Structure 1
Amino acid sequence: MALKRTSLPRTAEAVALAELRDAIVRGDLPPGTPIRQTTAAQELGLSVIPVREALKTLAGEGIVRYVPQRGYTVTELTPQSVDGIFRIRELLETEAEANASERLRPEDVVTMRAALEAQRAAVRGADAQAAIATNKQFHFALLDRCDNEWLLKFIRQLWEALEPHRALAYRRAAAAGDAARGEAVLREHEGIVTAFEAGDVPLALRLLAEHRTEGRADFHRLLSVDGAAG
């Protein structure tokens, strides 16, 4: 375990949820890691009850998995689950992006551009946590303009389920000195934001769909590495 209490939300459960989520996304608790409730509670200076409730929330989001008699572990992906997540993302995000693009303001496109430049610095500086955060900022600068809050809720849940694995992919690429995919993502994002800047919404939406396809391929490559390593 590698938890640390870095913030003070209003409730003990909110503390536990924020810190567990951050530790998983940072990669301090990689996929497959068991999470012992008593150990986590001790490290966070909390009782077991808020930690248990936080783990139930994370299990509902698909970030951790509960097995009777064995407890909680950080979720490991399978090729089938990757395909399932990306199929649902395709359905939901296609609608959300089309909806949001009708409401996209010039300042939102400026936000996308700023997120891309911050992501560029993070990728080239091998800062995995910042690269993940700015990647999400880029996409949600558009998605947050969607006026269907339920659609956005489910999209966010799917993104959260993939974050630990995205962090693992960034760290492995950085350790191997492989900047190719990071640079490819930057190029894809550049094409998307440039299309929005030019007012070419159909092109931007097509590039977003292609970007999702490449993202699914990335996760399959990550799983193939896991399989080879195992």
Structure 2
Amino acid sequence: MALAELRDAIVRGDLAPGAPIRQSAAAEELGLSVIPVREALKTLAGEGIVTYVPQRGYTVTELSPDGVDDIFRLRELLEGEAEQDAAARLRPEDVTAMRAALSEQRAAVTAADVAGVIAANRRFHFALLDRCDNAWLSRFVRQLWEALEPHRALSYRRAAAAGDTGRADAILAEHEAIVAAFEQDDAPAALRLLAEHRRDGRTDFHRLLDGPGSGA
């Protein structure tokens, strides 16, 4: 429970990159003792989602430009492989789920609902990725996603505060092209669009680290 709750709070952006995580405060909020919270934080540190510094404790990991490049290099290799494996097993109901997630994402962008945008974005991609038949590959892909999610949330929040939906609208257009390709049974085109979408995301994360900018 402690692990799930802390992971969700970080992925949603409730705990921003660089934010300290006080074990006693987290335990009180969750209604748990400090011990399971401490063990959960050790697990998250092993995944790179939080960072432990002696005398300072735990903070949500802040990515450097090199760190972003390292993650996206792995995403290109692992996620691309997972998408190709999943596309061969994709069912009509999975494509329907992608279309539904896109509709939810579009509504969340219109409502400036950052948490809704992030959740729908994740549902869109994992409607495909969850069809991957390699459990180890899926596990590593999910870990790479979770390492990026706090920064994705921060990016969306900054854009929403500035009233800037430019990149969010572009992401919707990219998702529309991806799901349309799957609906037309053109998996090679969809996979190519997903690779381009990932490269655009890499650029977005670099823009975020350079200063306030558009959504990633």
Q: Which bin holds the TM-score, normalised by the shorter protein? A: over 0.9
Which of 51, 69, 74 is the equivalent residue of 1:65?
51
In 1, are the aligned partners of 2:99 and 2:179 still within 8 Å (CA)?
yes
Structure 1: 5+ residue stretches without partners: 1-13
Equivalent residue of 1:85, what SS? helix
Match in the other structure for 2:31: 45
Alignment check: 8 A CA contact 2:12 2:118 kept:
no
Letter in 2 for 1:29: L
Q: Distance in 2 between matches of 1:25 and 1:98?
A: 25
Are 1:112 and 2:98 matched, yes or no? yes
CA RMSD of aligned residues (A): 1.1
Tell me the CA shift for residue 28 of structure 1: 2.8
Point out 4+ residue stretches in structure 1 off by more than 3 angstroms.
none
User: In the comparison of the two structures, how many residue pairs are matched?
Assistant: 212
- Work out which of the residue numbers 181, 201, 216 in structure 2 matches 1:215: 201
Q: TM-score, normalised by structure 2?
A: 0.95
Map of 2:10 onto structure 1: 24
Report the Cα offset of residue 105 of structure 1: 0.9
Q: Deviations over 1:191-222 (max 9, x none)?
A: 00000111111110100000000001110010
Letter of the 1:18 counterpart: A
Amino acid at match of 1:133: A
- Aligned counterpart, 2:179: 193
Residue pairs, 1:161-200, within 5 angstroms: 161-200=147-186
Letter of the structure 1 residue corresponding to residue 152 of structure 2: R
1:154 is the counterpart of 2:140: yes
Segment of structure 1 superposing worse, 33-42 or 90-99: 33-42
Quote how far apart the aligned CAs of 1:72 are: 0.6
SS in 2 for 1:65: strand
Please list the CA deviations of residues 109-133 of structure 1 after superposition, one character each: whole Å capped at 9, or x if unmatched. 1111111111110111111111111
| Percent pairwise identity | 75
Tell me if the contact between 2:13 and 2:149 (Cα under 8 Å) persists in the aligned partners.
no
Q: Read off the aligned partner of 1:168 and give its amino acid letter.
A: L
Q: Which residue in 1 is equivalent to 2:210?
A: 224
Unaligned runs of 5+ in 2: none
Alignment TM-score, normalising by the size of structure 1: 0.89
Measure, in 1, the Cα distance between the counterparts of 2:170 and 2:145: 20
